Every structure is written in C-alpha cells, then in structure tokens.
Structure 1
Amino acid sequence: MASIKSIPEVLKLSITSEQVRAARALLRWEQRDLAEASGVSLPSIKRLETQPGVLAAQERTIVELRKALEKAGVEFIAKNGGGPGVRLLR
C-alpha cells in the first residue's frame, strides 16, 4: 500500500492519452517520433493512445513518455477548471 506522502507524486505522473496526442500534435510528431524520443515501443504508444483517459501503463513507461515530451518543450497542465491539458513552452 502506498504511503500518504507518495500519493501526490504518483498523481503528478498521471497523464491521459488525450494529453499525449495533443502534445504530439503541438510538436508535429508522429507516433514514431515519440517512440524514438522515449524508448517506448511504437506498438505500445499506439495501444496507449487508443484507450481514453489516464494511461494504463507501467510507471516507467509513463515517466519515459512524459520526460521525452517535456524535453521537447511540452508542459503538462493539471486540472485547472477545464481538465488536464498541455501547452508548448517555446
């Protein structure tokens, strides 16, 4: 069971398939580009993007996807009235 202190960290990692697709669109990346940048397999990315909502993946997969997108200039936005989103920082 997760400790109360670790719960916010886990929630910070949560991203949705919609956010991943939107982030790729902002970067003008194909799924292949994200696979190369993150080290996550192309079939895994295709599968994850077809399932609506929070990514159903291992924590390390989510971390690698998020790191690759953030390194490319995407910022993940928490629920600010309109729900989770993304924006380009550059």
Structure 2
Amino acid sequence: MNSAQLRAARAFLDWSQSDLAEMAKVSVETIKRLERTAGAIEATKVSTLRAIEKAFEKAGVEFTNGDAPGVRLKAKR
C-alpha cells in the first residue's frame, strides 16, 4: 500500500481520517503520518497496515498492485 492508495480508498468511502482511525483502531495521528509518507508505506508496524487494510476490505475496498498500483471498490454480488 502507498499513501496515494490510502487517500484514494478513504475518498471512495467518503471517510475522514478520524473515520478510518476508528475503523482500524489506530490513532488519527498514525493515519495523518501514513498519508504524508512518500511512496510505499513501509516505516510502520505490519500490524498497523494490516488493521487499515482489514478496515478497508470490510467496507468493500480492494487494493491492486503490480505495474499500476491502485484502489477499486469490489463488485457487489
């Protein structure tokens, strides 16, 4: 995950930084710091990133990687 993906995922869901922090059970300051990070988010605990990913996945967000990292909403079944 990179900072642009993090911001884009929040935008898809219309979540504030506080909303994401609450859903992932991390501090708002952590979200702010991660969103300011240039490029890939690596300078944080794996458990923190996983908590953020899980919050997004539960809300229907899917992260894409490879040649074109991005974010998309999962198709509703």
TM-score by length of 1: 0.78
Percent identity between matched residues is 51
Residue in structure 2 matched with residue 71 of structure 1 by the alignment: 58
1:1-80 aligned within 5 A:
15-55=1-41, 56-79=43-66
- CA-CA distance at 1:54 after TM superposition: 1.1
TM-score by length of 2: 0.90
Q: Which has the larger radius of gyration?
A: 1
- CA-CA distance at 1:40 after TM superposition: 1.0
Please say if 1:86 is aligned against 2:71: yes
Query: Amino acid of the residue matched to residue 57 of structure 1?
Result: T
Q: Which runs of 5+ in 2 are unaligned?
A: none
Runs (4+) of structure 1 exceeding 4 A deviation are none
Query: How many pairs were matched up?
Result: 74
- CA-CA distance at 1:39 after TM superposition: 0.4
Compute the RMSD of aligned alpha carbons: 0.9
